[in-house]
Chains A and B, each alone.
Chain A
């Protein structure tokens, strides 16, 4: 009030400034009220968070105890039998989900339930030298016996014979074998691709969809460049490396020379593109 009496004497601008000051003061009040409310809410939320953390920790402890096969004690059964059951189920579920996630991370196959448990869909991820390649899927029908209902695995892959041998007896073994062989196929195919990309001077004379045979023609350096034919046979379909390598050349002395014997073992021991790059670096081939 005093301020008002004063300001009337000081003029309109003064009056306006006094009003402004009063308004800001009121805002301050609102602000401090709001601040109080927020502080209270923060305290409540923190309490809730601590409670949930406590519950989660209890479940985690339970889960660890189960995974380490330790006996459960009375402290775990504190909340009553039903509570214990619920916590146990949650703990088991968490453990299984962790295992599933770990299996996915190491490049293993994933399983997804579909059609309410009547069938399951498997995704096989393939990788070679740290690079993810194709993913193959397969749907298994579980109603009476386990049967493959559909898949997108290439038709040249001997899926039917593998299924006939293992599927009915051992599902896990079947999936494991399939994962291994698909990874090997993707690896061999990737080697052919990298070969063509990185070592352009080598010509691929023959290969096939299953990549179990690879015939390459290289040009051996020397006084006169000579053509050398390398045949890589992949007898074991679970491997990315060949089981047999044969070197042929018109010049017998070349193919019998110790240098090419070393190259032969190099091709047996390392992936095709790496071996050929090494051979080129050593100056043996163009």
Chain B
């Protein structure tokens, strides 16, 4: 096994806590049962790494097997690194008929055509997600397996999730994706998170949304303690209305676990107090950043408890409605950036 394979393996094993290594190696299915039994996971990491390396040498495993292991690791633990969302536009008429094999072939063919040395691996997961691992080289050097790009796409949806892509490779990847999925163009989704699960839940609508309905009202999550028959709520209808409003804007719990929302301001100062600030012609530039362990839950609670006044401002409800967490607010008037007309598919 060459140096690159060794360092990749090293990195994987060092990253996982010892108790999870066994499961990962079993899923990998490249070591024999005896070898797996022989490994002692209570030893220090460097010892485990050495043992696994020696087994790999024994089984004559090569870089391909190691990159397979890395991919399995990432599929099992998707919430690492920073993921960015991109969205396709201008679907061609037969975009709906694109099949998996077709997509794979076209994607690989395009990238192999433009870059001489590149290593692409694709796997389809049970939940219909296609995982792609790309190690980039160029016309002179071999692919660099220490900095692979990961791409996740669900066929027939218009979203792609990308992690660890360098600026110089962006154009090649975008071209390949657009051609393979039969769309006209791809643009930045303005959504980045550390958790791929949260990003997928938000964009693929895997959370429960609330809609006004003539027939049913949303059941409230109440503490049974507070529904004592002798306790009457004075403003129960206001409370229900606020609860309804907050659920419509941010969804029911559990919501996708977004962590931040960033608003970049390029507006003029409008307050009456400080004249020096409001007289300036140039923009008042600032950045407002909301952080939370679960941003949507916090915002929902703010609105439901009355801390934030209703109706919910479109600046906040745009997080779920438009599926983004980076906004640029310009001075054209109330509302979100000039991309306000772009609808979320």
B155 on interface, CB distance cutoff 8 Å: yes
Other-chain residue from B97, B100, B213, B345 in contact with A155 (beta carbon distance below 8 A): B345
Q: How many residues of A contact B (CB 8 A)?
A: 27
| Per-residue B-contact encoding for A30-50, CB less than 8 Å = 1, 0 else | 000000000000000000000
* Chain A residues with CB below 8 A from B157, complex form: 155-156, 209
How far is it, in angstroms, between the C-alpha of A149 and the C-alpha of B340 when the chains are bound?
A: 11
Q: List the B side residues contacting A123 at CB < 8 Å.
A: 211, 213
Known: A112-B212, A152-B205. A213 touches B156 (CB 8 A): no
Residues of A within 8 A of B154 (CB): 155-156, 209
B122: min CB distance to chain A, Å: 16
- Chain B residues within 8 Å of A149, by CB: 321
The answer, yes or no, to whether B128 is at the interface (CB within 8 Å) is: yes
Chain B 135-146 per-residue mask, 1 if CB under 8 angstroms from chain A, else 0: 000000000000
State the Cβ distance, B197 to closest chain A Cβ, in Å: 16
Within 8 A of A (CB), among B44-64: none
Q: Report the separation of the CA atoms of residues A159 and B96 in the bound assembly, to the nearest whole angstrom.
A: 11
B158–A155 touching, CB < 8 Å = yes
Distance (whole angstroms) from the CB of B290 to the closest CB of chain A: 20
Chain A residue contacts of B204, Cβ below 8 A: 154-155
B345 surroundings in chain A (CB, below 8 A): 155, 159-160
A150 to B95, CA, bound (A): 23
Interface contact A158-B96, CB-CB below 8 Å: yes
A150-B209, A150-B321, A212-B97 given as contacts; is B158 within 8 A of A160 (CB)? Answer: yes
- CB neighbours (8 Å) of A152 from chain B are 205, 209, 211
Residues of A within 8 A of B344 (CB): 150
B96 A110 Cβ-Cβ under 8 A: no
Cβ-based interface call for A161 (8 A): yes
B211 nearest CB across to chain A (Å): 4
- B16 vs chain A, min Cβ distance (A): 31
Question: What is the total of A-B residue contacts with beta carbons within 8 Å?
Answer: 66
Contact across chains for B91 and A114 when beta carbons are under 8 A apart: no
Q: Which residue of A lies closest to B317 (CB)?
A: A150
Would you list which residues of chain A between 76 and 127 have a CB under 8 Å from chain B?
110, 112, 114, 121, 123
Known contacts: A155-B159, A209-B154, A212-B96. The answer to whether A137 contacts B205 by CB under 8 A is: no
Question: What A residues does B211 contact at CB under 8 A?
Answer: 121, 123, 137, 139, 152
Of A139, A156, A160, A237, which contacts B155 at CB under 8 A?
A156
From 210 to 247 in chain A, residues with beta carbon under 8 angstroms from any chain B beta carbon are 210, 212-213, 237
Q: Is B309 an interface residue when CB atoms closer than 8 A count as contact? A: no
* Chain B residues touching A, range: 20 to 34
A112 x B213 contact (CB < 8 A): yes
Q: Which B residues touch A237, using CB under 8 A?
A: 96
Q: Hey, what's the 0/1 contact readout for A125-162 against B, CB within 8 Å counting as 1? A: 00000000000010100000001111011111011110
Q: A110-B214, A121-B211 are in contact. Are A154 and B158 (CB under 8 A)?
A: no
CA distance A181 to B114 in the complex (A): 40
Cβ B209 vs Cβ A137 within 8 A: yes
Chain A residues in 8 Å Cβ range of B272:
none
Which residues of chain B are within 8 angstroms of A154 by Cβ–Cβ distance? 204-205
Assess the A112–B96 pair: CB atoms within 8 A: no
| CB of B199 within 8 Å of the partner chain | no
- Contact A210/B96 with A123-B211, A155-B154, A156-B156 known, Cβ cut-off 8 Å: yes
What sequence of 0s and 1s flags, for each residue 159-180 of chain A, a beta carbon within 8 Å of any chain B beta carbon? 1110000000000000000000
B79-99 CB contacts (< 8 Å) to partner A: 91, 95-97, 99
In the assembled complex, the CB of B246 is this many whole angstroms from the nearest CB of chain A, namely 15
Which chain B residue lies CB-closest to A111? B214
| Interface status of B274 (Cβ within 8 A of chain A) | no
Does A112 contact B205, Cβ atoms closer than 8 Å? no
Chain A residues near B205 (CB-CB < 8 A) = 152-155
Q: How far, in whole Å, are A139 and B344 apart by their CA atoms in the complex?
A: 13
Query: Once the chains bind, are B343 and A208 in contact (CB under 8 Å)?
Result: no
For B215, the chain A residues whose CB sits under 8 A away are 110
Query: Which of A147, A153, A206, A209 has the most C-beta atoms of chain B within 10 angstroms of its own C-beta?
Result: A209
Asked if A155 meets B203 with Cβ closer than 8 Å, knowing A208-B155, A209-B156, the reply is: yes
* B 181-217 to A, binary, CB cutoff 8 A, 1 in contact else 0: 0000000000000000000000111000101111100
Asked if B91 and A121 make an inter-chain contact with CB atoms under 8 angstroms apart, the answer reads no
Closest Cβ–Cβ distance, residue A136 to chain B (whole Å): 9
Besides A156-B156, A209-B156, 17 new A-B residue pairs in contact (Cβ under 8 A), listed by A number: A110-B215, A121-B212, A137-B213, A150-B320, A150-B321, A152-B205, A152-B211, A153-B205, A155-B157, A156-B155, A158-B91, A158-B96, A159-B345, A160-B158, A208-B100, A210-B96, A212-B96
Minimum-distance CB pairs A-B, first 6: A137-B211, A156-B156, A155-B157, A160-B345, A114-B212, A112-B214
Q: List 5 A-B contacts (CB under 8 A).
A: A152-B211, A155-B158, A155-B345, A156-B155, A212-B97
Question: Measuring CB to CB, which residues of chain B are less than 8 angstroms from any residue of chain A?
Answer: 91, 95-97, 99-100, 128, 154-159, 203-205, 209, 211-215, 320-321, 343-345
Give A contacts to B, CB under 8 Å: 110, 112, 114, 121, 123, 137, 139, 147-150, 152-156, 158-161, 206, 208-210, 212-213, 237
